[in-house]
Structure 1
Amino acid sequence: MYLIDYHTHTRLSPDGHVPLAEMARAAEKAGLSELCVTDHYDRILEHGGFAPDYDWSPALEQFRTTAPAFEGKLQLRFGIEYGSAPFDPDYARRMLALPELDFVIGSLHNLSPELGGEDFFYFSYDSEETCRRVLDDYFASMLRLVELPETYDILGHIIYPLRYMPQEISLDPWWDSIDTVLRRVVETGRGIELNTYCGKTVAPWRPILERYRALGGELITVGSDAHFPERVGLGIPTAYDLLKDTGFRYVTTYHRHNPVPKPL
């Protein structure tokens, strides 16, 4: 089985910890065939306001010095997790034009600038009102993101804010918005990811996958969102089983933004 992990972070992410070589060795040990490094860049800072422009040099250097050591053992791909593209789309287009880039996850980690731009991680989700306000804004921003298909290949962790919220919070009020998002993803030739959150959230993806598949969605990556070597690949085999169970035939890998299907 061709196992992939298409959402991983090295020390070049603000919340990363180790170099790419350590993540790659962990991927090899976990039996993966392909690993994509997707270090963070969020255009919006953790507490609002625009981030400084991104310097590609450290990421390119890390990849160029690491990839040859794994040739023939592990396919490495060069990606990025780009956050908040709708809030400065011109910059996103310029930055993501890098010729060496294989893959872009389009993510949202913050409230919109209109609501202050705070990172979802820092909220206290102790009331249903707070959860609803965050999710209203989150899916409104996602509707903006999917109108910018040139800024992403795969739409990142659609259910992301739920990882911080009480389990009883349901997506029921937002299914119409989610269906509109998924339909637009399909129409524009983009895809989504099944993010296992290091094996913690696989089963909750079922309704998203069923809706995406029913709308004709086929392009899908699987990623652990690992920030430590010991978490690389966690939940990936279980995610493959869920994909098969919901009608998918393959996972998708990327080379220079071109999707390459791998049978499940």
Structure 2
Amino acid sequence: MIDSHSHTFYSKHATGSVDELVRASIEAGVSILTITDHAPFPVDMNNRLLASELDRYFADIQQARTTYDGRITILQGLEFDYMPGAEAFTRDLLARYPLDFAIGSCHYVEMPGEPMVKVWELPRLSTEAFLDCYFANLEGLISCGLFDSVGHADTLLRGLPEDVFLHRFEPLLALLAQSGMAFELNTSGLRKSSLTPFTRQEVQGLWSYPSKQLLPQLIAHRVPFTIGSDTHAPEDAGAGVAELMRVLRPLGLERISYYQSRRRVDVDIDTLQPEDTSTILKQGAAQP
């Protein structure tokens, strides 16, 4: 099993040490784990690594590599926030630390004349003004050339109809393919709440993301895929990874990629034998 998106207590809103995450990942059947805590950033500094913690963060990962050598491959990464104008800040950070993997994600969207929108504020995700800003930011993220994979770009499906999301994302397909970036299949959409289409009530247990309808279009454009649990607690290490691959394979998913020293490694999913027995996604309850 490959899990290329995971967090520890260094992200502040997550729990578990690096060692605890690694041990839980081994128990879950993960063989290649990339640790990707939230990188330092000027926005929301209470929910991420501080610059002063980076040396200790990477030292903890190196210690885990030594401790669990031969039992699991541990790669070091960061999940970066993207906002227009922050490219120089991120470029400097990337130059200072050797990474295996850099995820670029849009978590915060500045709105003219309005409070900044956070992508977990579900009722605010469907306005035209927000969508204009979000997809402009996403275009900038893909174009800047700083990242290996775009993280949970379809998290908006927690509060947005899929046809609206597709209408907005499809113009970016050619750009994404040209960039060489991977698209992340993020399994946390199987665990997180979402708004029901008609009542707009927040509920658990519905498939929100990744987008099943977008997958064939990404495959047609030869966009590679990474996959990750986006775990914020050791007990969710590897959660949903095997299940997601089982559901998406009939839709055309053939390969999963991970990154080592910022270079993509492609793996045929037929060679993967994950040991995930989670029952989070029930076929009868899954939403298209």
**TM-score, scaled to structure 2:** 0.78
The answer to whether residue 103 in structure 2 is matched with residue 105 in structure 1 is: yes
Selected match of 2:135 from 139, 161, 164: 139
Partner of 1:239: 244
- The amino acid that maps onto 1:143 is E
Offset of 1:52 from its aligned partner?
A: 9.9
Aligned match of 2:30:
32
Counterpart CA distance in 1 for 2:208 and 2:252 is 16
Q: Give, in whole Å, the separation in 2 of the partners of 1:193 and 1:173.
A: 20
What is the alpha-carbon distance in structure 1 between the residues aligned to residue 188 and residue 60 of structure 2? 24
In structure 2, what is the Cα distance between the partners aligned to 1:249 and 1:210? 11
**1:157 — aligned with what?**
152
Distance 1:221 1:209 in 2: 12
Q: Which runs of 5+ in 1 are unaligned?
A: none
CA distance in 2, matches of 1:46, 1:221: 26
Contact 2:39 2:50 in 1 (8 A): no
Structure 2 residues without counterparts, runs of 5 or longer: 192-206, 270-288
Shift of 1:44: 4.8
Aligned to 2:257: 252
User: Post-superposition shift, 1:106?
Assistant: 0.5
Contact 2:245 2:253 in 1 (8 A): no
Q: Give the deviation of 1:253 after TM superposition.
A: 1.2
How has the CA–CA distance of structure 1 residues 146 and 124 changed in structure 2, closer, same or farther, with 3 Å as cutoff? closer
Q: How does 1:221-240 map to 2 (within 5 A)?
A: 221-240=226-245
Q: 1:118: Cα distance to partner?
A: 4.0
Matched, 1:208 2:214: yes
Range 220-229 or range 234-243, more displaced: 234-243
If the length of structure 1 is used for normalisation, what is the TM-score?
A: 0.85
CA separation in 1, counterparts of 2:254 and 2:100?
A: 22
Count of residues in Structure 1 that have an aligned counterpart in Structure 2: 250
Shift in Å, 1:260: 0.7
Q: Could you tell me how far apart the structure 2 residues matched to 1:213 and 1:38 are?
A: 25
Matched-pair contact (CA < 8 Å) for 1:82–1:105: yes
AA matched with 1:214 = A
The share of aligned pairs that are identical, in percent, is 26
SS at match of 1:254: strand
Counterpart CA distance in 1 for 2:238 and 2:49 is 31
